[in-house]
């Protein structure tokens, strides 16, 4: 059973556009929600993260929007660049079992010049 | 600051064999987690070690086992390899505190023939 559901599976955006990736979860024990970026042949790299007591967090061109009541969160990439082309994973941590993270299935983003 | 390093980068084994994968955690990190990432999927949590003790385990059979050493480096051992064990195995380290980010290595690509 997939604990964190991610959509879309793939996304194509024009340079300068906004990329939006969505995730949903059911387990209310999740207490920390990071987003990771992964390039081919590399491990995931932390982009930005949010805790459920905050509705939005922005770091540069990356913004997380968090809706606790709907159990949904999303990543917005503003002014998307070809260098942003990668696979993005949302994740959720179940805090009461240590530092165990559950990952979404990933979104392959392609930014067209 | 040295990041998370994993060895080897690639490995080919046959069914029924045993394999040991290694991970050196980032300096100052006392928690190591192991993940299995099948092609086109998100990482799946295998287990976590904190100060040399197992501190959480995902839905993996007992033939997946691990160790953490006093210097916080870690090993993942898999016995009786099966074809479905073919995947990228990722190690992530963190300082173990609440909401502390996990830093991933670039993984070991394991292929089972």
The DSSP secondary structure of B5-71, one letter per residue, reads: EEE-SEEEE-TT--EEEEEEPPTT--EEEEEEE-TTS--EEEEEEETTEEEEE-S--TTEEEEE-TT
- Residues of chain A in contact with residue B50, where contact means CB-CB under 8 angstroms, are 98-99
For the segment A63-78, the average pLDDT, to the nearest whole number, is 96
- pLDDT confidence of residue A66: 96
Residue B2 has pLDDT above 70, yes or no: no
The minimal CB distance from B101 to the residues A46, A95, A106 is found for: A46
Smallest CA–CA separation between B69 and chain A, in Å? 19
- pLDDT confidence of residue B100: 76
Residues 6+ apart with CB under 8 A from A60: none
- pLDDT confidence of residue A15: 98
For the segment B12-40, the average pLDDT, to the nearest whole number, is 94
How many interface pairs between A and B have CB atoms less than 8 angstroms apart?
A: 67
* Residue A43 to residue B45, Cβ atoms within 8 A: no
B56 touches chain A (CB under 8 A): yes
pLDDT tens across A21-46, in order?
Answer: 999 999 988 989 999 999 998 999 99
Q: Band of the pLDDT at B55, cuts 50, 70, 90?
A: confident
Residue A65 has pLDDT above 60, yes or no: yes
Smallest CA–CA separation between A74 and chain B, in Å? 17
Residues 6+ apart with CB under 8 A from A1: none
Kindly list the distances between the CA atom of residue A58 and the CA atoms of A104, A109, B20, in Å, as whole numbers in the listed order: 21, 20, 40
Nearest-angstrom CA–CA distance, B73 and A82? 36
- Residues of chain B in contact with residue A36, where contact means CB-CB under 8 angstroms, are 104
pLDDT tens across B62-83, in order?
Answer: 999 999 999 999 999 999 999 9
Nearest-angstrom CA–CA distance, B4 and A85? 23
Nearest-angstrom CA–CA distance, A92 and B29? 20
Nearest-angstrom CA–CA distance, B75 and A59? 35
- How, if at all, do strands B108-112 and B10-13 pair? parallel
In chain B, % of residues over pLDDT 70: 95
- Residues of chain B in contact with residue A46, where contact means CB-CB under 8 angstroms, are 101-103
- pLDDT confidence of residue B96: 67
For the segment B7-11, the average pLDDT, to the nearest whole number, is 96
Can you tell me whether residue A95 is helix, strand or coil? Answer: helix
The minimal CB distance from A41 to the residues B40, B94, B106 is found for: B106
Question: Judging by beta carbons within 10 Å of its beta carbon (0-12, 13-18, 19+), is residue A44 exposed, middle or buried?
Answer: buried
Q: What is the mean pLDDT of chain A?
A: 93
The minimal CB distance from B33 to the residues A34, A51, A99 is found for: A99
């Amino acid at each position: 059973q997939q604990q964190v559901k991610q959509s879309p599976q793939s996304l194509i955006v024009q340079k300068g556009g906004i990329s939006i990736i969505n995730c949903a979860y059911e387990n209310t024990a999740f207490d920390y929600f990071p987003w990771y970026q992964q390039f081919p042949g590399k491990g995931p790299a932390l982009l930005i993260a949010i805790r459920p007591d905050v509705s939005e967090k922005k770091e540069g061109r990356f913004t997380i929007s968090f809706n606790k009541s709907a159990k949904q969160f999303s990543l917005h990439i503003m002014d998307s660049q070809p260098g942003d082309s990668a696979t993005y994973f949302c994740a959720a941590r179940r805090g009461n079992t240590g530092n165990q993270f559950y990952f979404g299935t990933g979104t392959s983003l392609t930014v067209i010049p | 600051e040295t990041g998370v390093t994993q060895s080897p980068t690639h490995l080919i084994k046959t069914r029924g064999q045993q394999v040991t994968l290694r991970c050196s955690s980032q300096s100052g990190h006392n928690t190591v987690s192991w993940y299995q990432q099948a092609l086109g999927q998100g990482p799946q949590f295998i287990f976590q070690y904190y100060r040399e003790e197992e501190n959480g385990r995902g839905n993996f059979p007992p033939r997946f086992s691990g160790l953490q050493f006093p210097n916080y480096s870690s090993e993942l051992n898999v016995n009786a390899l099966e074809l479905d064990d073919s995947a990228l195995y990722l190690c992530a380290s963190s300082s173990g505190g609440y909401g502390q980010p996990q830093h991933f290595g670039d993984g070991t690509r394991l292929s089972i023939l």
